Structure formats: structure tokens, C-alpha cells
Amino acid sequence: DTAVSQTPKYLVTQMGNDKSIKCEQNLGHDTMYWYKQDSKKFLKIMFSYNNKELIINETVPNRFSPKSPDKAHLNLHINSLELGDSAVYFCASSVRGFGGTEAFFGQGTRLTVV
Amino acid sequence: RKEVEQDPGPFNVPEGATVAFNCTYSNSASQSFFWYRQDCRKEPKLLMSVYSSGNEDGRFTAQLNRASQYISLLIRDSKLSDSATYLCVVNGARDTGFQKLVFGTGTRLLVSP
């Protein structure tokens, strides 16, 4: 009964490969996010979707393509992986609410590109 | 200039100490503010929201100074279990209901026996 779940938890792959990370939330939230946490632990937003519609795209290389088949799922596909893509990727969700609302995070996917 | 700036620490304190973290943000249009906590190799979790009037939750007190664009977190009577990274978070979006949470780099706290 995990609220926000991501798979896989760990992903080791070679440069140039294409990989996907899946995210599902069972909280009934309308808004979902992808964040990247780099080696310096800096957590930066990549994308935000509300009810399957892209709201935020933070100048992420177009090798990264999010897909939201329904409001409970937000997957991240990465083409032609590069060494610099190695990081922890967190999925999150929140209700849409004025004044700011709590974001619930998944456990993270630790991606290592070799 | 980073949107949200924090001293990365680490802050090393003994159990029972009081410790304060500060944070500044650059976007004066920011609407809402939070402190999140992140344990090693875990996901961030909301610690508390920060209100203009200041707010307290047990041993934790948060303050906001909009004029100075400054947020603080005070932890009293530190426990070993408080050891973590504390992330200052600002909602940088306009108040449309769509939020863009901008995270600081975090301040690491180590509480020792």
C-alpha cells in the first residue's frame, strides 16, 4: 500500500542505452512530478504533469520524455543515456492546491550509467 | 544566484542542543514555503509548512520573513533521530494551484550522544 512507488529502485546500464522508470501513485492526486538529485544532493525539478497534461518542463534535454497514460502514472523514458545522467530520480505527487501542498515522494531510482 | 540558498553544514551538535538553520530565496513572488527532511539514501518528506506568522510543531519552530526573503528552522532539545538533511523548499509558481517546488541544497545535521 505504498503511496508513491517507482520501479526499478536501482538501474545500472551502459552509455547509449534507452531505459524507462515507472511511477505510480495511489493517493488520488492530480499532479505528478519528476525530480533529479545529482551527486551533490541537489534536488531539481524536471517535469510536472497535472491530470495527464504537461505543466512544467525545466529545460531538460529532449532525450528525456515523460509519459502520463493516466493521472495515477507518470513514467520517464531516457534515450541515449550519458554518464552525466547518473543520479537518483524521484517521482512525486501532490493534490492541486492553492497556497502550496505537500508533495509525496517515491523511494527514488538510483541510475548509474557506465 | 540560486533560487534557494542554504548553508550545507554539516552542523555537529550534542543531544539536547538547540540548533537553527537559515535559508534565503530569490523569487519575491514565492507563495508558500516548507521544510522537508531527507534521511540518507531516502526520499524527502515534509517536516512542516512555514507560515507568515511563524509556526511551531513540538520541538520544531519555523519562521518566515517575507521582507528579507528569509526562512528559518529552529530545533530544540535535539535527538539522535534528528540527524538528517533539512531541505528548505519554496513554491516558485504563481498561485494558480500548480506548484513548482524549488529545493535548497539542504543543511546536514549530525546529532551526537
Q: What is the pLDDT of residues B3-59, one digit of tens each?
A: 899 999 999 999 999 999 999 999 888 888 999 999 999 999 999 999 888 899 999
- In B, minimum Cα distance to A54 occurs at B98
Q: What pLDDT is attached to residue A99?
A: 63
A45 closest CB neighbour out of B34, B87, B100: B100
Q: What pLDDT is attached to residue A72?
A: 95
Band (pLDDT 50/70/90 cuts) for residue B82 is very high
Q: Which residues of A touch B49 (CB under 8 A)?
A: 100, 102
- In A, minimum Cα distance to B92 occurs at A100
* Residues A28-80: tens digit of each pLDDT: 999 999 999 998 888 999 999 988 889 888 878 999 999 999 999 999 999 99
CA neighbours closer than 13 Å in the CB half-sphere of residue A50: 10
Task: Count the Cβ atoms, other than its own, within 10 Å of residue A31.
Answer: 25
CB contact under 8 A, B49 and A100: yes
pLDDT at residue B1 greater than cutoff 80 = no
Give the three-class secondary structure for B34.
strand
Q: What pLDDT is attached to residue B97?
A: 65
Band (pLDDT 50/70/90 cuts) for residue B104 is very high
Q: Which residues of B touch A101 (CB under 8 A)?
A: 99
Q: What pLDDT is attached to residue A41?
A: 83
Q: How far is it, in rounded angstroms, from Cα A94 to Cα A104?
A: 6
Q: Which residues of A touch B99 (CB under 8 A)?
A: 31, 48, 94, 97, 100-101, 103
CB contact under 8 A, A41 and B105: yes
Contacts of B25 (CB under 8 A, 6+ apart): B3, B4, B5, B33, B69, B71, B88, B90, B102
Percentage helix, strand, coil for chain A under 3-state DSSP, each rounded to 5: 5, 55, 40
B31 closest CB neighbour out of A43, A44, A99: A99
- Average per-residue pLDDT in chain A? 92
Residue B21 in grid coordinates = 538553520
Interface residue ranges in chain B relative to chain A, Cβ cutoff 8 Å? 31-34, 42-46, 49, 85, 87, 91, 95-103, 105-106
Classify the C-alpha dihedral B8-B26-A102-A74 as positive or negative: negative
CA angle (B104 as vertex; B98, B108 as ends), nearest 5:
140
CB contact under 8 A, B98 and A50: yes
